[in-house]
Amino acid sequence: MAFPKAPAILASRDLRGADLASDPAGSSLRIYAWMRLARVADDRILELFRQGVIRGTVTGGQGNEWMVVPLALLLDKAIDVVCFTHRGLGGHLVWSGHLCDHLNQYLANAMSPTRAREGNIHHGDPANRSLPMISHLGAMCGPVLGAADSQRRFGREAVGVAFFGDGSSSTGDVHESLNLASLLSLPIVFVIENNGYAYSTPADEQFARGTDLWRRAEGYGMEGLVIECGDPRDIARALGPVIERVRAASRPILVEARTLRLRGHAAYDTCDYLRPGEADAFAARDPLPLYRTALVRELGAARVDAVDAELAAFIEDCISAAIAVPRPDPRGMEADLFAPVPKPFPWLPLPAAPESLTMAQGLNRAIRKVLAERPESIVLGQDIATYGGAFKVTEGLYGEFGRSRVLNTPLAESACTGYAIGLAVNGHRPIEEFQFADFATEAVTQITLNAATMHFRSGAACPLVLRLPSGAVGLGSFHSQELESLFLSMPGMKALYPSTPQDAFNALLAASEDNNPVLLFEHKGLYRRGKHPVAWDPDYRAVWHPKRVRAGGFATLVTYGEAVHLASEACDYLAAEYEADIEVFDLRCLSPLDLSEIIPSVARTGRLIVLHEGRRTHGFGAEIVARITEGAREPLKAPPLRIAALDLPVPFAHELEAAFRPSKDRVIELITGWMS
Ligand SMILES: Cc1ncc(C[n+]2csc(CCOP(=O)(O)OP(=O)(O)O)c2C)c(N)n1
Ligand SMILES: [Mg+2]
């Protein structure tokens, strides 16, 4: 598809502070042209939706152009970071590409920037630091923080702009991100697009005390200001110095933009909740026609009419061209879930001589190696710096690498994970420690929707390691969870669960060089379970595959994590007392699941046992059993045996916890019962 040639007035996507003084006519018309392009395109997109040509939904930015267009023009498209919202077509148009890119997105055709995998305005241009939004409001703030910080770390004086609505400003993510940006002194312009409504909910049902949202800035220790909709040149004059101040000082600022929502929430919105006369009052304040009138007065009708006519023809040409693009092809979709496997890093073959280490120490050595050899790596988490982490896995690293590489985070798992995502998308390689795996539930949206879908929907890599101290060690319901089936029921994450110090060392290296989010489950009961040799292992990538840890012909047992040790003890006993030799596989990698060696083993033994510490119902074992048995050619000699924890919250007292999770005695009892 050849994109129609854009009118000359759209040739420049920039506005510098001096332009309005040095070339008042040219710069005024340029602002107008981008605003008008956005408005007419938004209106035409709405019409195409109503005609059934565009599906899904359409949330227009009509009424937002006065703010988003000057802002986008003012930013430095070569280094700055943005994430526009569902009211941001004007910003998207200025930032990148061509109207046809955006129409292709709405039409979800074969040339859509999200490869038609996402609809509506959920696209961006990650290669040019326009981060694609997800629907979950507030969730994009963290990634803007991370990507802007990543730019700074690469030595670029970037500013990040995080847009969100008045309704979105109630989300935890927004509050967490405001605090984080202030704390880390990040160069972020937070823009609240306050249009007075969140869908049908008016401000007085959203906020307890008025709508002076910019005043919240003070509470976060940052500057705040409000802008009212009006002549976009005044906005440019006001915002230009603000952006440059943020750039120079690397301090965040909160801007409340009092804006308008001229076409309701979305295409299907009946707007019957508006107060009488409110819609007319909005229309009367619409800055676009008011600005047009001012330009006609200043420059004469002919010049403005000419811009309108040129844009109208261009927009219709673009629509015709985009409609002619073929529909998307579902082939290749599954293969594209993950970013491709990269070449191995050129790791130094160190430590050459094996050291006798606990798993916690093995992980520590691996993280130190990554920090030493990969300058783009960053370790972050709560209490991980001077304290060395709740389990001392990061001990000593802060002293060696400093705050820029080993970063204590506030208690804000969602924004901090969003921040890590932004770092990752922009070329850094964060390793985030959750104090306990349990607290990763605070960041489920960021992990499962923002990070895990990133490659599929945008083509961008998101190389992020999430370290999850897991399992029951006497700490009750909220410090003991095994969350692999919760997370892995969603697509797009890789997952490793090592059972030995060497595997943990290898897993950390393998995860840190992957270009996808990788969950690294670390059983707390294994952190200090004896010392074992750990050294550089050229075959470290083998952790992506299961390991046969015991040979046998009677049955095949599949397990992972701490349960590997339980299985070994139980199998020793069963071999000695019952002469039943059980073949044991340590899965090591839970995603992508590789059962290529295990399936033939089960075919040979004819019996399958799955053992894990996580709960039974919807447990990971159900998936393993299904995958192994659904393709089996011969019937098994016995029904598969699943050994797992009880379907309960993790109970606290050690007697109760022992009854809750599989023990050596219970494993033996269940297997012998199953054998007879
Ligand atoms: C976290 C979350 N909850 C609910 C929704 C559903 N939803 C979509 S738009 C919207 C209203 C958003 O209001 P606001 O943030 O003021 O933005 P506006 O649409 O007014 O620009 C809601 C509730 C969502 N997208 N995300
Ligand atoms: Mg709103």
Task: Report, as residue numbers or ranges, the catalytic residues.
Answer: 479
443 C-alpha to ligand 1 centroid (Å): 19
Q: Other CB atoms closer than 10 Å to residue 1's CB: what's the count?
A: 13
Task: Starting from the CA of residue 64, give the closest ligand.
Answer: 1
Degrees, nearest 5: CA angle 249-451-338:
130
Using DSSP bridges, classify how beta strands 253-258 and 223-228 pair: parallel, antiparallel or unpaired: parallel
Q: State the sign of the Cα–Cα–Cα–Cα dihedral 431, 478, 387, 404.
A: positive
165 C-alpha to ligand 1 centroid (Å): 7
Shortest-distance atom of ligand 1 to CA 165: 15
From CA 121, how far away is CA 84, in angstroms rounded?
A: 9
Residue 34, φ and ψ in degrees, nearest 5: -70, -40
Q: How far is CA 506 from CA 134, 226, 304, 482, 650, in A?
A: 33, 52, 65, 21, 30
28 C-alpha to ligand 2 centroid (Å): 28
Shortest-distance atom of ligand 1 to CA 194: 16
Task: Starting from the CA of residue 258, give the closest ligand.
Answer: 2
From CA 371, how far away is CA 388, in angstroms rounded?
A: 15
Whether 16 and 241 have beta carbons less than 8 Å apart is answered as: no
Q: Other CB atoms closer than 10 Å to residue 444's CB: what's the count?
A: 16
Task: Starting from the CA of residue 265, give the closest ligand.
Answer: 1
Tokens of 97: 């590409």
User: What is the DSSP code (8-state) at residue 125?
Assistant: B
The residues lining ligand 1, judged by C-beta closer than 6 Å to any ligand atom, are 87, 135-137, 165-168, 171, 193, 195, 197-199, 261, 265
Shortest-distance atom of ligand 1 to CA 198: 13
261 C-alpha to ligand 1 centroid (Å): 13
Nearest to 411 by CA among 184, 179, 190: 179
Q: Burial of 278 by CB count in 10 Å (0-12 exposed, 13-18 middle, 19+ buried)?
A: middle
Shortest-distance atom of ligand 1 to CA 136: 26
Q: Is the bond into 351 cis (omega within 30 degrees of 0)?
A: yes
Q: State the sign of the Cα–Cα–Cα–Cα dihedral 270, 272, 275, 280.
A: positive
259 C-alpha to ligand 2 centroid (Å): 9
From CA 432, how far away is CA 139, in angstroms rounded?
A: 17
290 C-alpha to ligand 2 centroid (Å): 22
Rounded-to-5 percentages of helix, strand, coil across the chain = 45, 15, 40
Q: State the sign of the Cα–Cα–Cα–Cα dihedral 350, 356, 359, 360.
A: negative
The full 3-state SS of 269-284, as one line of letters, equals: CCCCCCCCCHHHHHHH
Please report, for the chain, how many H helices and E strands are present, in that order.
24, 21
From CA 210, how far away is CA 208, in angstroms rounded?
A: 6
Instruction: Report the SS3 class of residue 391.
Output: coil
Instruction: Report the SS3 class of residue 227.
Output: strand
Shortest-distance atom of ligand 1 to CA 168: 15
Q: Burial of 77 by CB count in 10 Å (0-12 exposed, 13-18 middle, 19+ buried)?
A: middle
What's the one-letter identity of residue 545?
Answer: H
Shortest-distance atom of ligand 1 to CA 164: 15
Q: Tokens 């992972």 — which residue? A: 560
Q: Other CB atoms closer than 10 Å to residue 661's CB: what's the count?
A: 23
Shortest-distance atom of ligand 1 to CA 135: 25
Instruction: Report the SS3 class of residue 130.
Output: strand
What pLDDT is attached to residue 210?
A: 73
Atom 17 in ligand 1: residue holding the nearest Cα:
165
- Say what the alpha-carbon torsion angle 229, 233, 235, 236 is, to the nearest 10 degrees: 150
Q: Tokens 């308008």 — which residue? A: 260
What is the CA 439 to chain-centroid distance, rounded?
17
Using DSSP bridges, classify how beta strands 406-408 and 377-381 pair: parallel, antiparallel or unpaired: parallel
Nearest to 486 by CA among 521, 515, 511: 521
Task: Please give the average pLDDT of every successive group of 10 residues along the chain, which has 676 residues.
Answer: 92 93 97 98 98 96 98 98 98 94 97 96 96 98 98 98 98 98 98 97 89 94 97 97 98 98 94 95 97 98 98 98 97 96 96 97 98 98 98 98 98 98 98 98 98 98 98 96 98 98 98 98 98 98 98 98 98 97 98 98 98 98 97 92 98 98 98 94
Atom 9 in ligand 1: residue holding the nearest Cα:
199
From CA 191, how far away is CA 246, in angstroms rounded?
A: 13
265 C-alpha to ligand 1 centroid (Å): 9
What's the one-letter identity of residue 424?
Answer: A
Q: Burial of 573 by CB count in 10 Å (0-12 exposed, 13-18 middle, 19+ buried)?
A: middle
Q: Is the bond into 592 cis (omega within 30 degrees of 0)?
A: yes
Nearest to 463 by CA among 413, 419, 428, 414: 428
b or e along 148-170 (b: 16 or more beta carbons within 10 Å of the residue's beta carbon)? Answer: bbbbbbeebebbbbbbbbbbbbb
Task: Starting from the CA of residue 172, give the closest ligand.
Answer: 1
Instruction: Please give the biggest Cα pair distance in the chain.
Output: 99
For a mutational test of ligand 1's pocket, the pick from 83, 137, 173, i.e. the residue with the most ligand atoms closer than 8 A to its C-beta, is 137
Instruction: Report the SS3 class of residue 24.
Output: helix
Atom 20 in ligand 1: residue holding the nearest Cα:
198
Instruction: Report the SS3 class of residue 420.
Output: helix
User: What is the DSSP code (8-state) at residue 225?
Assistant: E
Tokens of 331: 């082939």
196 Ramachandran zone, left/alpha/beta (phi>0; psi -120 to 50)? left
Atom 7 in ligand 1: residue holding the nearest Cα:
199
From CA 170, how far away is CA 265, in angstroms rounded?
A: 17
Whether 423 and 378 have beta carbons less than 8 Å apart is answered as: yes
For a mutational test of ligand 1's pocket, the pick from 199, 282, 446, 450, i.e. the residue with the most ligand atoms closer than 8 A to its C-beta, is 199
What pLDDT is attached to residue 211?
A: 73
What's the one-letter identity of residue 559?
Answer: T
Degrees, nearest 5: CA angle 320-72-296:
75
> Residues for the chain: how many in total?
676
For a mutational test of ligand 1's pocket, the pick from 59, 168, 446, i.e. the residue with the most ligand atoms closer than 8 A to its C-beta, is 168
From CA 102, how far away is CA 148, in angstroms rounded?
A: 24
Task: Starting from the CA of residue 121, give the closest ligand.
Answer: 1
* Residue 523: strand pairing partners: 470
From CA 597, how far away is CA 417, in angstroms rounded?
A: 35
Tokens of 37: 């392009």
68 C-alpha to ligand 2 centroid (Å): 15
166 C-alpha to ligand 1 centroid (Å): 9
Atom 19 in ligand 1: residue holding the nearest Cα:
198
